[in-house]
Amino acid sequence: MLKTGVLISGRGSNLQSLIAACATPGFPAEIACVISNKADAGGLDHARKANIPAHVIPNRDYPTREAFESALDAKLEEHNVQLVCLAGFMRILTPWFVNRWRDRLINIHPSLLPAFPGLDTHQKAIDYGAKLAGCTVHFVRAEMDHGPIIMQAAVPVLNGDDEQTLAARVLQAEHKAYPQALRLIAENRVNVFEERTFITDATASGEALFNPEA
């Protein structure tokens, strides 16, 4: 069982998808702890209801980013965490923390990276006229929203979509992709070589997704 720590800042919908997956018989990972930098994060309730140790480490209580991250690191080590999942953790991590957890730190981003890094991804996709949007699970690197891609899921951008409707469609894909990526890692099927991932015994449909269809 891969001991996983989840860092959150908000409602924790992706955390809930990970909790549900880990509760499935035979799933190869378990959530050892959940840590939030905000005491009012809704995701903390998800953890407590699932009897997962939940901790609040407010970043504002520390004089520097490094001091805050040292506290995060100590709590993760206390729970013998082997992999860290960022699930709506609204802090940019320093190179020290990223390098300490290199290839053991993953994130889910609501776009098909490298398209639309940063914030407001759904509005950017709409404004650009993109026909496909989606999400990306990737290993974290010091540069924001960069790192070897583990898994992506695409959804159509529909006529009449606004930021909220597109975000809801992407979020459904996130809730499937993040647990699947965690499973692949926990089963030792993900290898990183020259900043690319290679997945053992992975399958793909080989079909193109068209939007719109003529």
The answer to whether 146 is a known catalytic residue is no
How crowded is residue 108: how many other Cβ atoms within 10 Å of its Cβ? Answer: 24
* C-alpha to C-alpha distance for 146 and 149, rounded to whole angstroms: 8
| Residues 6 or more apart whose Cβ sits within 8 Å of residue 24 | none
Q: CA nearest 84: which of 178, 191, 201, 195?
A: 178
Q: Which of 114, 117, 33 is nearest to 75 (CA)?
A: 33
Catalytic residue among 46, 109, 138, 175: 109
State the catalytic residues. 109
